[in-house]
Protein backbone atom coordinates (compact mmCIF):
# COMPACT_ATOMS: atom_id res chain seq x y z
CA UNK A 1 0.00 0.00 0.00
CA UNK A 2 1.34 3.43 -0.93
CA UNK A 3 1.33 5.87 1.97
CA UNK A 4 1.88 9.63 2.00
CA UNK A 5 5.45 10.71 2.66
CA UNK A 6 6.56 13.51 4.96
CA UNK A 7 9.07 15.92 3.43
CA UNK A 8 11.93 14.97 5.72
CA UNK A 9 11.45 11.25 5.11
CA UNK A 10 10.23 11.38 1.55
CA UNK A 11 13.53 10.42 0.00
CA UNK A 12 13.67 6.98 1.62
CA UNK A 13 10.90 5.50 -0.49
CA UNK A 14 12.41 5.95 -3.95
CA UNK A 15 14.02 3.00 -5.75
CA UNK A 16 15.05 2.01 -9.26
CA UNK A 17 12.62 0.56 -11.82
CA UNK A 18 12.96 -2.20 -14.38
CA UNK A 19 13.17 -2.28 -18.15
CA UNK A 20 10.23 -3.39 -20.35
CA UNK A 21 7.97 -2.23 -23.17
CA UNK A 22 4.56 -2.06 -21.48
CA UNK A 23 1.30 -2.18 -23.43
CA UNK A 24 -0.63 -0.49 -20.58
CA UNK A 25 0.28 2.97 -19.38
CA UNK A 26 -0.36 3.39 -15.66
CA UNK A 27 -1.17 7.03 -15.05
CA UNK A 28 -1.25 8.68 -11.61
CA UNK A 29 -3.07 11.93 -10.90
CA UNK A 30 -4.43 14.18 -8.13
CA UNK A 31 -7.67 16.09 -7.73
CA UNK A 32 -5.90 19.26 -8.90
CA UNK A 33 -4.73 17.50 -12.10
CA UNK A 34 -7.14 19.45 -14.29
CA UNK A 35 -5.93 18.51 -17.76
CA UNK A 36 -5.55 14.84 -16.95
CA UNK A 37 -9.01 14.83 -15.32
CA UNK A 38 -10.50 16.20 -18.55
CA UNK A 39 -8.67 13.65 -20.67
CA UNK A 40 -9.91 10.90 -18.36
CA UNK A 41 -13.56 11.94 -18.33
CA UNK A 42 -13.59 12.31 -22.12
CA UNK A 43 -11.72 9.07 -22.80
CA UNK A 44 -9.28 10.96 -25.02
CA UNK A 45 -6.09 9.09 -24.19
CA UNK A 46 -7.72 5.71 -24.68
CA UNK A 47 -8.79 6.77 -28.18
CA UNK A 48 -5.46 8.33 -29.14
CA UNK A 49 -3.37 5.44 -27.80
CA UNK A 50 -5.49 2.69 -29.36
CA UNK A 51 -3.52 2.77 -32.66
CA UNK A 52 -0.40 2.00 -30.60
CA UNK A 53 -2.18 -0.95 -28.94
CA UNK A 54 -1.76 0.77 -25.58
CA UNK A 55 -4.46 0.91 -22.90
CA UNK A 56 -4.65 3.22 -19.86
CA UNK A 57 -5.13 2.45 -16.18
CA UNK A 58 -5.91 5.34 -13.80
CA UNK A 59 -4.65 5.77 -10.23
CA UNK A 60 -5.69 8.67 -7.97
CA UNK A 61 -3.43 10.05 -5.21
CA UNK A 62 -4.09 12.63 -2.50
CA UNK A 63 -0.74 14.41 -2.94
CA UNK A 64 2.32 14.61 -5.14
CA UNK A 65 4.99 12.92 -3.03
CA UNK A 66 3.40 9.45 -2.90
CA UNK A 67 2.56 9.85 -6.59
CA UNK A 68 6.23 10.24 -7.51
CA UNK A 69 7.15 7.51 -5.05
CA UNK A 70 4.86 5.16 -6.94
CA UNK A 71 6.32 6.34 -10.23
CA UNK A 72 9.87 5.50 -9.26
CA UNK A 73 8.91 2.24 -7.53
CA UNK A 74 7.55 1.10 -10.94
CA UNK A 75 3.95 1.13 -9.73
CA UNK A 76 3.17 3.91 -12.25
CA UNK A 77 4.51 4.98 -15.63
CA UNK A 78 3.39 8.62 -15.90
CA UNK A 79 2.56 11.24 -13.33
CA UNK A 80 0.05 14.01 -13.98
CA UNK A 81 1.13 17.47 -12.93
CA UNK A 82 2.69 17.92 -9.51
CA UNK A 83 3.75 21.16 -7.87
CA UNK A 84 7.25 22.42 -8.60
CA UNK A 85 8.49 21.42 -5.14
CA UNK A 86 7.72 17.72 -5.49
CA UNK A 87 10.34 16.75 -8.11
CA UNK A 88 12.98 18.39 -5.92
CA UNK A 89 12.45 15.76 -3.21
CA UNK A 90 12.48 12.97 -5.77
CA UNK A 91 15.69 14.30 -7.28
CA UNK A 92 17.35 14.57 -3.86
CA UNK A 93 16.50 10.90 -3.33
CA UNK A 94 18.14 9.90 -6.61
CA UNK A 95 14.85 8.98 -8.26
CA UNK A 96 15.20 8.07 -11.94
CA UNK A 97 12.49 10.29 -13.45
CA UNK A 98 12.10 12.15 -16.74
CA UNK A 99 10.41 15.55 -17.05
CA UNK A 100 7.75 15.34 -19.79
CA UNK A 101 6.18 18.80 -19.71
CA UNK A 102 5.70 21.93 -17.65
CA UNK A 103 2.71 24.20 -17.11
CA UNK A 104 3.76 27.85 -17.35
CA UNK A 105 3.56 29.95 -14.14
CA UNK A 106 0.29 30.37 -12.24
CA UNK A 107 1.35 32.43 -9.20
CA UNK A 108 -2.20 33.41 -8.15
CA UNK A 109 -3.32 29.77 -7.99
CA UNK A 110 -1.94 29.34 -4.47
CA UNK A 111 -2.15 31.74 -1.54
CA UNK A 112 -1.77 32.38 2.18
CA UNK A 113 -5.23 33.09 3.56
CA UNK A 114 -6.75 34.09 6.89
CA UNK A 115 -10.33 34.38 8.04
CA UNK A 116 -11.98 37.64 7.08
CA UNK A 117 -12.20 38.81 10.71
CA UNK A 118 -8.58 37.89 11.51
CA UNK A 119 -6.40 40.62 13.04
CA UNK A 120 -3.53 39.49 10.79
CA UNK A 121 -3.03 42.01 7.98
CA UNK A 122 0.37 41.15 6.47
CA UNK A 123 2.71 38.18 6.18
CA UNK A 124 4.88 39.77 8.87
CA UNK A 125 1.96 39.32 11.28
CA UNK A 126 2.37 35.54 11.02
CA UNK A 127 5.24 35.66 13.54
CA UNK A 128 4.46 33.22 16.34
CA UNK A 129 1.24 32.10 14.64
CA UNK A 130 0.10 28.61 13.68
CA UNK A 131 0.04 28.14 9.91
CA UNK A 132 -1.46 25.10 8.20
CA UNK A 133 -0.22 23.72 4.87
CA UNK A 134 0.69 20.50 3.09
CA UNK A 135 4.28 19.53 3.74
CA UNK A 136 6.56 19.60 0.66
CA UNK A 137 3.75 20.94 -1.56
CA UNK A 138 4.11 24.08 -3.66
CA UNK A 139 2.50 26.06 -0.85
CA UNK A 140 5.33 25.02 1.46
CA UNK A 141 7.79 26.91 -0.72
CA UNK A 142 5.36 29.82 -1.11
CA UNK A 143 5.26 30.14 2.68
CA UNK A 144 9.06 29.99 3.03
CA UNK A 145 9.53 32.59 0.26
CA UNK A 146 6.81 34.89 1.62
CA UNK A 147 8.25 34.77 5.14
CA UNK A 148 11.71 35.55 3.80
CA UNK A 149 10.37 38.55 1.88
CA UNK A 150 8.70 39.78 5.08
CA UNK A 151 11.95 39.50 7.03
CA UNK A 152 10.97 36.33 8.87
CA UNK A 153 12.24 32.75 8.81
CA UNK A 154 10.37 29.47 8.90
CA UNK A 155 11.32 29.17 12.59
CA UNK A 156 9.23 32.28 13.32
CA UNK A 157 5.95 30.40 12.76
CA UNK A 158 4.34 27.27 14.19
CA UNK A 159 3.83 24.89 11.25
CA UNK A 160 0.83 22.56 11.09
CA UNK A 161 1.30 19.96 8.36
CA UNK A 162 -2.18 19.26 6.98
CA UNK A 163 -3.75 17.84 3.83
CA UNK A 164 -6.10 20.28 2.04
CA UNK A 165 -9.15 18.57 3.58
CA UNK A 166 -7.71 18.65 7.09
CA UNK A 167 -6.46 22.19 6.55
CA UNK A 168 -9.93 23.33 5.55
CA UNK A 169 -11.45 21.80 8.69
CA UNK A 170 -8.78 23.32 10.94
CA UNK A 171 -9.20 26.71 9.27
CA UNK A 172 -12.97 26.70 9.73
CA UNK A 173 -12.67 25.69 13.41
CA UNK A 174 -10.08 28.38 14.11
CA UNK A 175 -7.48 25.75 15.02
CA UNK A 176 -4.92 27.49 12.77
CA UNK A 177 -4.29 31.21 12.33
CA UNK A 178 -3.58 31.02 8.60
CA UNK A 179 -3.82 28.46 5.82
CA UNK A 180 -1.66 28.10 2.70
CA UNK A 181 -3.49 26.27 -0.08
CA UNK A 182 -3.81 25.91 -3.84
CA UNK A 183 -6.64 25.72 -6.37
CA UNK A 184 -9.23 24.30 -6.62
CA UNK A 185 -9.21 24.13 -2.80
CA UNK A 186 -8.43 27.85 -2.61
CA UNK A 187 -11.37 28.82 -4.81
CA UNK A 188 -13.66 26.47 -2.88
CA UNK A 189 -12.71 28.17 0.39
CA UNK A 190 -13.18 31.63 -1.10
CA UNK A 191 -16.64 30.82 -2.41
CA UNK A 192 -17.89 28.82 0.59
CA UNK A 193 -20.99 30.51 2.04
CA UNK A 194 -21.23 30.98 5.79
CA UNK A 195 -18.88 31.88 8.59
CA UNK A 196 -15.49 31.02 7.10
CA UNK A 197 -14.94 33.77 4.55
CA UNK A 198 -11.29 34.19 3.67
CA UNK A 199 -8.92 37.04 2.99
CA UNK A 200 -5.67 36.66 1.02
CA UNK A 201 -2.51 37.82 2.81
CA UNK A 202 -0.29 36.96 -0.17
CA UNK A 203 -0.27 34.82 -3.28
CA UNK A 204 2.73 33.78 -5.33
CA UNK A 205 3.09 37.02 -7.31
CA UNK A 206 6.73 38.00 -7.33
CA UNK A 207 7.84 35.22 -4.98
CA UNK A 208 6.70 31.77 -6.18
CA UNK A 209 5.63 31.34 -9.78
CA UNK A 210 4.05 27.88 -9.21
CA UNK A 211 4.95 25.85 -12.27
CA UNK A 212 3.58 22.32 -12.35
CA UNK A 213 5.44 19.38 -13.89
CA UNK A 214 4.43 16.16 -15.65
CA UNK A 215 6.90 13.29 -15.25
CA UNK A 216 7.50 9.71 -16.31
CA UNK A 217 9.75 6.98 -15.02
CA UNK A 218 12.90 7.07 -17.12
CA UNK A 219 12.39 3.36 -17.77
CA UNK A 220 9.02 4.10 -19.39
CA UNK A 221 10.29 7.22 -21.17
CA UNK A 222 12.99 5.14 -22.88
CA UNK A 223 10.65 2.26 -23.67
CA UNK A 224 7.64 4.24 -24.97
CA UNK A 225 8.56 7.69 -26.28
CA UNK A 226 5.71 7.19 -28.78
CA UNK A 227 3.23 7.13 -25.88
CA UNK A 228 4.77 10.23 -24.31
CA UNK A 229 4.44 12.12 -27.59
CA UNK A 230 0.71 11.34 -27.67
CA UNK A 231 0.25 12.33 -24.02
CA UNK A 232 2.18 15.58 -24.50
CA UNK A 233 0.17 16.53 -27.60
CA UNK A 234 -3.15 15.90 -25.82
CA UNK A 235 -2.08 17.87 -22.73
CA UNK A 236 -1.07 20.82 -24.89
CA UNK A 237 -4.33 20.69 -26.84
CA UNK A 238 -6.47 20.34 -23.70
CA UNK A 239 -4.71 23.23 -21.96
CA UNK A 240 -5.62 25.54 -24.82
CA UNK A 241 -9.19 24.24 -24.88
CA UNK A 242 -9.72 24.95 -21.15
CA UNK A 243 -8.67 28.58 -21.54
CA UNK A 244 -10.81 29.03 -24.66
CA UNK A 245 -13.86 27.24 -23.20
CA UNK A 246 -13.87 27.98 -19.44
CA UNK A 247 -17.57 27.29 -18.87
CA UNK A 248 -17.57 24.01 -20.80
CA UNK A 249 -14.46 22.84 -18.94
CA UNK A 250 -15.98 23.74 -15.57
CA UNK A 251 -19.19 21.90 -16.45
CA UNK A 252 -17.23 18.73 -17.29
CA UNK A 253 -15.13 18.92 -14.11
CA UNK A 254 -17.97 19.74 -11.72
CA UNK A 255 -19.25 16.17 -11.18
CA UNK A 256 -15.70 14.81 -11.17
CA UNK A 257 -14.47 17.20 -8.46
CA UNK A 258 -17.72 17.53 -6.58
CA UNK A 259 -17.55 21.32 -6.84
CA UNK A 260 -19.92 23.78 -8.43
CA UNK A 261 -19.00 24.99 -11.91
CA UNK A 262 -18.56 28.63 -10.82
CA UNK A 263 -15.91 27.64 -8.26
CA UNK A 264 -14.06 25.57 -10.84
CA UNK A 265 -14.18 28.38 -13.38
CA UNK A 266 -12.67 30.75 -10.82
CA UNK A 267 -9.91 28.28 -10.01
CA UNK A 268 -9.16 27.57 -13.67
CA UNK A 269 -8.95 31.29 -14.37
CA UNK A 270 -5.85 31.46 -12.16
CA UNK A 271 -4.04 28.54 -13.79
CA UNK A 272 -2.13 29.11 -17.05
CA UNK A 273 -2.62 25.56 -18.41
CA UNK A 274 0.03 26.52 -20.97
CA UNK A 275 1.80 23.20 -21.52
CA UNK A 276 5.34 23.50 -22.82
CA UNK A 277 8.51 21.41 -23.07
CA UNK A 278 10.88 21.43 -20.12
CA UNK A 279 14.17 23.03 -21.09
CA UNK A 280 17.10 23.97 -18.84
CA UNK A 281 16.34 27.67 -19.19
CA UNK A 282 13.01 27.33 -17.31
CA UNK A 283 14.42 25.37 -14.36
CA UNK A 284 15.97 28.33 -12.52
CA UNK A 285 13.27 28.46 -9.87
CA UNK A 286 13.67 24.74 -9.25
CA UNK A 287 17.16 25.50 -7.99
CA UNK A 288 15.87 28.24 -5.67
CA UNK A 289 13.25 25.85 -4.30
CA UNK A 290 15.85 23.14 -3.74
CA UNK A 291 18.21 25.55 -1.99
CA UNK A 292 15.40 26.86 0.25
CA UNK A 293 14.38 23.36 1.34
CA UNK A 294 17.99 22.33 1.91
CA UNK A 295 18.52 25.40 4.08
CA UNK A 296 15.53 24.30 6.18
CA UNK A 297 17.11 20.81 6.48
CA UNK A 298 14.20 19.23 4.58
CA UNK A 299 16.46 17.75 1.90
CA UNK A 300 19.26 15.28 2.71
CA UNK A 301 21.68 16.92 0.26
CA UNK A 302 22.12 19.83 -2.10
CA UNK A 303 21.03 19.12 -5.65
CA UNK A 304 21.66 20.52 -9.11
CA UNK A 305 18.19 21.22 -10.50
CA UNK A 306 19.56 21.09 -14.06
CA UNK A 307 20.81 17.54 -13.62
CA UNK A 308 17.56 15.91 -14.81
CA UNK A 309 16.35 13.94 -17.83
CA UNK A 310 14.19 16.01 -20.19
CA UNK A 311 11.79 14.60 -22.77
CA UNK A 312 11.82 16.32 -26.17
CA UNK A 313 8.28 16.04 -27.61
CA UNK A 314 9.39 17.01 -31.10
CA UNK A 315 12.21 14.45 -31.30
Contact residues for 222 (Cβ-Cβ < 8 A; gap 6+):
19
How many other C-beta atoms are found inside a 10 Å radius of the C-beta of residue 107? 18
Whole-number Å distance between alpha carbons of 78 and 231:
9
Angle formed by the axes of helices 34-42 and 246-257, to 10°? Answer: 80
- Beta-bridge partners for 132: 160, 179
* Residue 79 pLDDT: 96
What's the pLDDT score for residue 9? 47
User: DSSP readout, 123-174?
Assistant: GGGGTT-EEEE-TTSHHHHHHHHHHHHTT--GGGSEEEE--HHHHHHHHHHT
Round to whole Å and give the CA distance between 225 and 31: 26
The alpha carbon of residue 76 and the mean position of all alpha carbons in its chain are separated, in whole angstroms, by 17
70-109 confidence digits (pLDDT tens): 998 999 999 999 999 999 999 998 899 999 999 999 999 9
**Residue ranges, the chain, pLDDT below 70:** 1-22, 193-196
d(CA 118, CA 253): 33
pLDDT of residue 11: 44
Domains within the chain, CATH numbers bracketed: 10-105+211-310 (3.40.190.10), 107-203 (3.40.190.10)
Looking at the chain, which runs of residues are DSSP E strands? 24-29, 55-60, 78-82, 97-103, 110-115, 130-133, 158-161, 178-182, 198-203, 212-217, 275-276, 309-310
3-state secondary structure of 263: helix
Q: Is residue 32 a contact partner of residue 202, using CB atoms and an 8 Å limit?
A: no
Helix axes 34-42, 225-244, angle to 10 degrees: 100
DSSP annotation of 104 reads P
Amino acid sequence: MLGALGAAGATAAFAQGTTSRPATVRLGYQKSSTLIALLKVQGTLEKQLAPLDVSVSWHEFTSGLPLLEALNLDNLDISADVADTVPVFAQAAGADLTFIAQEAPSPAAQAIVVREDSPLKTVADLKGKKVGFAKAAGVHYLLIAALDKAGLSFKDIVPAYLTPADGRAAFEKGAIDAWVVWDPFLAAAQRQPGQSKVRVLADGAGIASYQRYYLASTRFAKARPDVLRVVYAELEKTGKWVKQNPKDAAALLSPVWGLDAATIEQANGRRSYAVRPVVPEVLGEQQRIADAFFAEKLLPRKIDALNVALFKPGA
